[in-house]
């Protein structure tokens, strides 16, 4: 069954990639009419080549990941490792949490060469990479440090809850995870994000006054307006707000400020505020809470199924194999729900776009910003509808433009 699920996911990913590649190549000879006003032929061809390069890399990633997963699940190394670890360190919650943590780190290692290639070969070739090997390795080590400080104690707590609350452990674990997630919303902007990037107040001037005026006009209270040095890793750009309540802050990538005019930056920020005003963040947190609850319940059920353990060479009796196997296999199930999740996400993007157009009074500002961002980021301007429907959390540029122009006429 697991083999069928893994192969089915790979086959679907392969088909979607091929479909999208053919669609892109069918429009590659010349700049499509819809984009001629803001994309020149050289930039369009570079975007096509970037899309095709990412597609080739993505297909290799899919095969690589599927092979590694199949080998891990069926070569017997995971049951053997659990037996060896238990004999050496015992079966306490601290020891079993350490086992899961070590396995997680070991499973991340095969991914490192791919991440390196993507950053220093693929992104470098198209002019996006600005990171140095030192920064890249520093990010990996900081991520490992955070996993030890935050992730390992959380694993211990979950395993302790299994011991303390018996068959209802999944409900208690869910409550602990939700409390941890909310705590991170407060702590991450102040303690974690500054470990990776430098945040400085947006300098005094017309842009700051324009954006603060937008925040006042929309009733969006934020602790600060800050600029993040995203350019030290990449020339890609973004804007977001993080935290909540009095801890909320608005963050602009320095690359975004370099690429957009002030009215366009105002429109981008209005879009982000639109997500807040439309209550998209609480709805997404609620969805995350529901899926986490369902996932933990499934783990609790699988832990009672002897056939599940035997199929992968484990002995029944411990919750640890169920947690490990669920972590490895959940993706082959949730993958098929991606179109539904992304359909929901795209609806939110349309709503935030409409809010931005209404708030600024000019749909053209956001359209201009989207055009520039798609051009600067070498986005795929002609994705196949099936591909974008399955993978894209945001509507395509043409879809967003059509919706914005329609809302501007209402």
Active site residues: 272, 353
* CA nearest neighbour of 350 among 392, 297, 295, 292: 392
CA distances from 81 to 89, 103, 104, 144 (A): 12, 9, 13, 21
| Cα Rg of the chain, angstroms | 23
Which pairs with CB-CB distance under 8 Å and at least 24 residues apart come from 349-352?
Answer: 349/393, 349/394, 349/395, 349/400, 350/395, 350/400, 350/403, 351/274, 351/278, 351/280, 352/271, 352/272, 352/274, 352/275, 352/278, 352/280
Torsion angle (degrees, nearest 10) of CA 23, 28, 32, 36: 140
Token pair of 147 as six digits: 């996993």
**Contact between 336 and 27 (Cβ < 8 Å):** no
Give 265-309 as a 3 state SS string: HHHHHHHHHHHHHCCHHHHHHHHHHHHHHHHHHHHHHHCCCHHHH
Per DSSP, what are the bridge partners of residue 252? 227, 239
Instruction: Provide the 8-state DSSP code for 225.
Output: E
Give helix then strand counts, H and E, for the chain: 20, 4
In which order are the strands placed within the sheet that holds 239-242? 199-201, 224-228, 249-253, 239-242
């Amino acid at each position: 069954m697991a083999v069928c699920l893994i192969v089915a996911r790979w086959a679907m990913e392969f088909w979607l990639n091929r479909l999208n590649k053919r669609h892109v190549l069918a429009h590659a000879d010349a700049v499509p009419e819809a984009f001629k006003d803001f994309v020149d032929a050289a930039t369009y061809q570079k975007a096509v080549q970037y899309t095709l390069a990412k597609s080739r890399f993505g297909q290799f990633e899919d095969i690589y990941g599927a092979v590694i997963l199949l080998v891990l699940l069926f070569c017997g190394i995971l049951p053997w490792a659990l037996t060896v670890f238990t004999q050496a360190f015992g079966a306490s919650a601290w020891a079993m949490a350490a086992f899961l943590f070590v396995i997680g780190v070991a499973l991340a290692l095969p991914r490192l060469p791919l991440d390196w290639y993507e950053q220093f070969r693929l992104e470098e070739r198209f002019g996006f990479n600005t990171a140095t090997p030192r920064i890249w390795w520093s990010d990996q080590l900081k991520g490992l440090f955070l996993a030890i400080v935050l992730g390992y104690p959380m694993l211990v707590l979950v395993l302790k809850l299994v011991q303390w609350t018996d068959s209802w452990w999944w409900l208690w674990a869910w409550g602990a995870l939700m409390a941890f997630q909310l705590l991170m919303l407060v702590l991450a902007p102040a303690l974690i994000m500054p470990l990776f990037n430098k945040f400085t107040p947006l300098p005094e001037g017309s842009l700051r006054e324009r954006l603060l005026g937008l925040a006042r006009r929309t009733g969006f209270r934020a602790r600060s307006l800050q600029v993040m040095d995203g350019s030290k890793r990449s020339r890609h750009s973004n804007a977001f707000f993080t935290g909540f309540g009095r801890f909320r802050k608005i963050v602009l990538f320095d690359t975004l400020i370099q690429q957009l005019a002030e009215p366009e930056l105002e429109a981008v920020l209005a879009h982000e505020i639109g997500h807040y005003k439309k209550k998209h963040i609480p709805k997404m947190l609620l969805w995350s809470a529901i899926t986490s609850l369902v996932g933990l319940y499934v783990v609790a059920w699988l832990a009672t199924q002897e056939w599940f353990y035997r199929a992968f060479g484990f002995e029944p009796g411990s919750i640890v194999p169920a947690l490990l196997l669920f972590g490895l296999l959940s993706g082959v199930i949730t993958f098929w729900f991606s179109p539904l999740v992304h359909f929901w996400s795209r609806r939110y993007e349309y709503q935030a776009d409409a809010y931005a157009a209404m708030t600024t009074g000019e749909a053209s500002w956001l359209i201009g910003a989207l055009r520039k961002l798609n051009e600067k980021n070498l986005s795929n301007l002609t994705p196949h509808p099936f591909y974008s429907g399955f993978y894209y959390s945001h509507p395509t540029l043409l879809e967003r433009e059509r919706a914005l122009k329609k809302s501007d006429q209402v």
